[in-house]
Copies of this chain bind each other. A is one copy, B any other.
Amino acid sequence: MSAHDHDHDHHHGSELSDTQLRVRALETILTQKGYIDPQAIDALIEAFETKVGPHRGAQVVARAWVDPAFKAALLEDATAAITSFGVFERASEHIIAVENTPQRHNMVVCTLCSCYPWDMLGLPPVWYKSAPYRSRAVIDPRGVLADFGLSLPDSVEIRVWDSTAETRYLVVPMRPDGTQGWSEERLAGLVTRNSMIGTGLPLRPDEVAA
């Protein structure tokens, strides 16, 4: 590949400052016209930076690992289960939990934009929103998994969920071996963001500090 091919970064760099100017202009206009309250904007940003995130999905998964009744309810109707079992007070509608098994590995994508279960996993990482992921996840999911260093046996079905509507998918990965008797909180520490998207597995016990 040519050394000249890295135009994207170059172009991207110049776009950023242009965009910064545009954002500043927009916010100024919207504030001056009274459409927005900048303090509410601050509060919204802070909430998405601090309140939501993969730790929430991890709590749901950990609960499913220790509580078979919750797991059954979660797989039946995730939104209802999360609130009725008291994991969280509130959960968005149409959350769908899908379970990995030795026979099936689930992977979530949104090819058309970047739909993602915000209130379970926070805002999506850049790779999830990127063209490489959106384009390849449905035609070459094992190739994508290889990009994440993940290789699954050929006996495993790869099930890709393209989030084309307002349903939001959460993968429930398999509980790692060697975690018998672990507390929900300790188990939650094994549940990575990628394991709930399907591009990773939970951490093994030996991968976390005791």
A residues near B, CB below 8 A?
4, 11, 22
A114 to B182, CA, bound (A): 63
Count the copies. 2
User: Once bound together, how far apart are the Cα atoms of A11 and B18, in whole Å?
Assistant: 12
What are 2 A-B pairs with beta-carbon distances under 8 A?
A: A4-B22, A11-B11
Output the least CB separation between A26 and chain B (Å).
11
A122 to B22, CA, bound (A): 44
The distance from the CB of A124 to the nearest CB of chain B, in whole angstroms, is 25
Q: How far is the CA of A4 from the CA of B11 in the complex (A)?
A: 17
Expressed in whole angstroms, the minimum distance between the Cβ of A201 and any Cβ of chain B is 41
| Residues of B close to A11: CB separation below 8 A | 11
Q: Which residue of B lies closest to A25 (CB)?
A: B4
Q: Distance in Å from the Cβ of A3 to the closest Cβ of chain B?
A: 11
Minimum CB–CB distance for A63 against chain B, Å? 46
Shortest beta-carbon distance from A2 to chain B in Å = 10
Q: In the complex, A22 Cα to B22 Cα: how many Å?
A: 32
**A22 contact set on B, CB distance < 8 A:** 4
Residue of B with least CB distance to A10: B18
